[in-house]
Homo-oligomer: A and B are copies of this chain.
Amino acid sequence: MIVDPALLAMRARATFASDHRVAALVRPGSVTQVQACMRIAASQRIPVYPVSSGRNWGYGSSLPASDGNAIIDLSRMNAILEINPRLAYATIEPGVTQRQLMQALQDITPALWLDATGSSPDCSIIGNTVERGFGHTPYGDHFGHACALQVVLPDGRLVETGFGQFPGAAATPVYRWGVGPAIDGLFTQSNLGIVTRMTVWLMPEPAYFQAFFLRARESALEPMVDALRTLRLEGSLRSSIHLVNAFKVISSDGRFPWGLADGTGRLPEEATRQLIARWGCQAWNGSGALYGSRAQVAASRRRVLELLRPVATELRFLDDRTIGIAGRLRTPYKWFTGVDLAQAMALVKPVYELMKGIPTSRMLASTYWRKREIPDEFDPDRDRCGLIWVNAVAPADPVQVRRMVTIVETVFRKHPFEPAMSMTLRTERAVDNIISITYDRDRDGEDERAMACHDELLSALMDEGFYPYRLGVQSMALAAQRRDPSARELIDRLKHALDPHGTLAPGRYAG
């Protein structure tokens, strides 16, 4: 157990201000040790907070949801217990990172892809999945592609979900529901248990892969939502489609144009225009991909062209061959005409690779947007990058999506930050909007200003019916108080049944 104040203070760091302190840190190396931790915590009434890799940036890093918790750091439990090439799954522990699993797949069975998030390659796969995070391939709904959880309950008991509850069940890693009540959802976005093992399904590498990138004017948002929903619903697109606004693009390399700054803290309009021109981006910038045989991809591409060409100002397809050429030549390739190829490629390539399930740390550069310097190795906590994420879900309906976007723009007008939005058609019917409030924690008063922006934005979105799919520790109290009293009472009852002393992650996803 670590109790050194300096080390503990490091664990209480996040990309925003918090007064939660960390009381201790334990790093169990096995499920038995996790069980022992939980038993001690329960008997001694010590609040404990599990983290996997602690890289929940923008949502609290490894920061507990309440003050004075002991962190249970699961990163030592990093065994890949099984990779099954035939049935296309891997069974892993919470310390297994995206990079580690990808490496193992490349060594053992390169024909299987993982689905990666846009966060660091060193993020925990289980950590992201129990937060119901998402990625970019057809396996992008992480919790929807995982099963067979092993869970340590707050009293130290060990349970399994799905068929794992039955000795020797052959279908445990391949069939999620098992038989009887489906309990696995209880252990996502909650404080009811610690997931110590999980099976994640893997996607077989398709015979052919083609990505597309599009640009569209502001007014095209509505028809684009209609077109994308149609393509998703009919199955022509089987993976997430991303639609980011211009602020998201121009802040992606983390270089605020300090030379053009006007002292307001906000990006001046003229500078915005210049950056948009340099990046060659539009109000909305989309990406998606097609997976299948060459003939399947060609058939789906035809539908994509049919529906998206009328609404986009540009629509380009890239595959391994064309991206290879662009990468090698670094000359004004047709796709990038008029824009800085090296810079555009530096953004396109990681997005392209993410759609193939390859994790990248490139996206983290945007957390340095308001910093004066960008290090070679990103560590937003250490470097006092300010990043607060707010997210909201809307139906994939043009009127609703526009309403959601307008709320975001309206709120940001009152705050000295850029409303960078990344919208994802996560399913056939729902759009997630991930909004980042990016700032410099070293600037006086900025922590407070950013959190004020967060509070107002989250409240304004919820007021209009756009609730978050996921909460950071900064948002949990605000969101939980909106929960219907009878649902809150039910969750309290479940919590009390599983954790009568309330020692596991108090305040996590609860008021």
Contact = CB atoms under 8 A, between A and B. Distances in A.
A159 B493 contact: no
Interface in A178-211: 178-190, 192, 201, 203-204, 206-207
B292 A299 contact: yes
Nearest to A181: B190
Contacts of A480: 180
A138 B180 CA distance: 24
B234 A204 contact: yes
A484 B174 contact: no
Interface string A229-259: 1100111101000000000000000000000
A383 to B, nearest CB: 30
Contact of A182 (B188, B235, B299): B188
Interface string A270-292: 00000000000000000000011
Given A171-B393, A171-B394, 11 more contacts: A160-B484, A163-B467, A165-B488, A169-B465, A170-B394, A170-B466, A177-B185, A180-B491, A183-B490, A186-B186, A206-B234
Interface of A: 86-89, 132, 138, 143, 153, 157-160, 163, 165-171, 173-175, 177-190, 192, 201, 203-204, 206-207, 229-230, 233-236, 238, 291-293, 295-296, 298-300, 302-303, 393-397, 400, 426-430, 462, 464-471, 479-480, 482-484, 486-491, 493-494, 496-498, 509-510
A299 B298 contact: yes
Contacts of A89: 429
B235 A291 contact: yes
A509 to B, nearest CB: 5
Contacts of A187: 181
28 contacts: A86-B229, A87-B395, A88-B233, A132-B177, A170-B393, A170-B465, A171-B465, A171-B466, A171-B467, A174-B395, A174-B429, A175-B469, A178-B467, A179-B468, A180-B491, A181-B186, A181-B187, A182-B185, A183-B491, A185-B186, A201-B429, A203-B233, A204-B234, A234-B292, A293-B303, A295-B298, A296-B296, A490-B498
A349 to B, nearest CB: 25
Nearest to A508: B180
B396 A486 contact: no
Contacts of A479: 179
Count the copies.
2
A162 to B, nearest CB: 10
Contacts of A394: 170-171
A299 B464 CA distance: 44
A392 B12 CA distance: 49
Nearest to A177: B132
A395 B394 CA distance: 36
A204 B233 contact: yes
A152 to B, nearest CB: 11
B204 A170 contact: no
Contact of A393 (B143, B175, B469): B175
A160 B468 CA distance: 17
Q: Which of A143, A207, A238, A493 has the most CB of B within 10 A?
A: A493
Nearest to A204: B233
Contacts of A498: 490, 493
A85 to B, nearest CB: 11
Nearest to A191: B181
A467 to B, nearest CB: 5
B234 A179 contact: no
Given A292-B299, A296-B296, A487-B165, A181 B192 contact: yes
A174 B430 contact: yes
Nearest to A205: B234
B159 A490 contact: yes
B493 A497 contact: yes
A190 B466 CA distance: 31
Given A175-B430, A295-B299, A468-B179, A163 B484 contact: no
A467 B296 CA distance: 36
Contact of A469 (B159, B179, B397): B179
A295 B235 CA distance: 13
Contacts of A186: 181-183, 185-186
Contact of A159 (B179, B185, B466, B487): B487
B180 A189 contact: yes
A182 to B, nearest CB: 3
Nearest to A493: B497
Contacts of A490: 153, 157, 159, 183, 498
Contacts of A468: 179
